[in-house]
Amino acid sequence: MKRNILKLFLCGLGACGLLCAAANTALAQDPLRYEVMQHHSADQPAQLRIIANESLQDVEVAITNCAPQVVRQQFGSMKKGEVKTISWNQNPGKYNCGVSISGKLNMGGAVSVRNTHEFVCGASTPLSLNVDLNEIKELVPTTNHVVLHASRPFNRASITVTAEDGTVIDTVDKAVGSMKDYTLSWKASAKKPVLLEIKVTDETTGSWASNTIMSFLIPHTDVVFDTNKYNIRPDQEQYLHEPLEIILDKVRKFDRVAVNLYITGHTDTVGPDNKNVKLSLNRARSIASWFTQHGLSIPTYYRGAGERGLAVDTPDNTPEERNRRAVYILSNIAPVDGLGSWTKL
């Protein structure tokens, strides 16, 4: 069985800078917080992440004494919940770097942060985090855990789970001892989770790694195609308008995550397999093209699975309507399930 492993390689977590320079923990009422890479390996850049707790304008960042020149970054605006990352290169050694962040609140008022942080380059082994996506092929209301695999032990794990309506199902932040493999659970809910934001930290070295997983199966009525045809009939377009509105709504609601649309075409078992693969590919491409022609601007991918991945198991040459379908998935990760490779529209 093919296994789809998501790996995001990050290292080092220092103090979280607040509006009060003396504080080292974030408060819910603070307009922003930030995280710095206290330790990083010589072949990795140093990083600072800004997290907006409120919508901000004219955000500017300056980092001094960390590189040959001042590291500057300007952001016209940041939406609530948005994360921005600033990276720069350092030679091996220890640096006391100045961090200055300024901005404006949408409702008026200024944001100003000035702190000093120690950055150590080449002194730690990076921490990496794997999430086996076969554990969560589809996020459903009964999904309430994720299995984490790290390259070395971590002692704190956290996750924020968001439902399809944009509300937070649960937030978990807990000490876990010293673990490389850990099952992180959250409270059960009748709502379907769509977004998992995961982070593990080795607090003894300040190293951290994080993964963001978004996956949403778009509900829809399948388009009916004429036999051996793949053009969309005018009377079938009504079955594409509704899922398009759902897709556009989710893209707006979760705009802090860069997602793509993935469309898989399927057929029943009537006819030769190679012909069915080509037919399902062309039908998936027709649907993808229709969406982009009617206002969808995110990257869209398609593939044809033919007779593979039947919704209903049948013998060969069985005309089963439920197998003549297409699957639409909105995700930041390309599904890898043995049903074929993806082609970008």
Tell me what the mean pLDDT of segment 151-167 comes to. Answer: 92
Q: How confident is the model at residue 94 (pLDDT cuts 50, 70, 90)?
A: confident
Do residues 177 and 218 make contact, with C-beta atoms less than 8 angstroms apart? no
pTM of the prediction? 0.66
**What is the pLDDT at residue 124?**
56
If one counts the domains in the chain, the total is: 3
Are residue 153 and residue 198 in the same domain, yes or no? yes
Q: How far apart are CA 171 and CA 27, in angstroms?
A: 15
Residue 324, classed as helix, strand or coil, is coil
User: Is the residue at 3 inside a domain?
Assistant: no
**Token pair recorded at residue 231:** 């053009």
**What is the pLDDT at residue 311?**
86
Q: How far apart are CA 272 and CA 281, in angstroms?
A: 14
Which residue, 214, 245, 271, sits at the end of a domain? 214
Q: Is the pLDDT of residue 135 over 70?
A: no
Are residue 265 and residue 333 in the same domain, yes or no? yes
Tell me what the mean pLDDT of segment 48-65 comes to. Answer: 90
**Token pair recorded at residue 294:** 């009617």
User: Is the residue at 2 inside a domain?
Assistant: no
Are residue 28 and residue 101 in the same domain, yes or no? yes
CATH code of the domain in which 234 resides: 3.30.1330.60
Residue span of the structural domain in which 296 resides: 218-344
Q: Which residue in 228, 249, 240, 221 sits closest to 322, CA to CA?
A: 221
Q: How confident is the model at residue 329 (pLDDT cuts 50, 70, 90)?
A: very high
Are residue 175 and residue 225 in the same domain, yes or no? no
For residue 98, which phi and psi values (nearest 5 degrees)? Answer: -90, 135
Q: What is the pLDDT of residues 294-312, one digit of tens each?
A: 999 999 999 998 888 888 8
Are residue 164 and residue 260 in the same domain, yes or no? no
User: Is the residue at 288 inside a domain?
Assistant: yes
Q: How far apart are CA 307 and CA 268, in angstroms?
A: 6
Q: Which residue in 337, 333, 272, 262 sits closest to 306, CA to CA?
A: 272
Q: What is the pLDDT of residues 255-294, one digit of tens each?
A: 888 899 999 999 888 889 899 899 999 999 999 999 999 9
Are residue 140 and residue 199 in the same domain, yes or no? yes
Which residue, 121, 154, 171, sits at the end of a domain? 121
CATH code of the domain in which 178 resides: 2.60.40.4070
**How large a percentage of the chain has pLDDT more than 70?**
89
User: Is the residue at 240 inside a domain?
Assistant: yes
Are residue 110 and residue 142 in the same domain, yes or no? no
Q: How far apart are CA 270 and CA 318, in angstroms?
A: 6
Strand partners, 39: 120
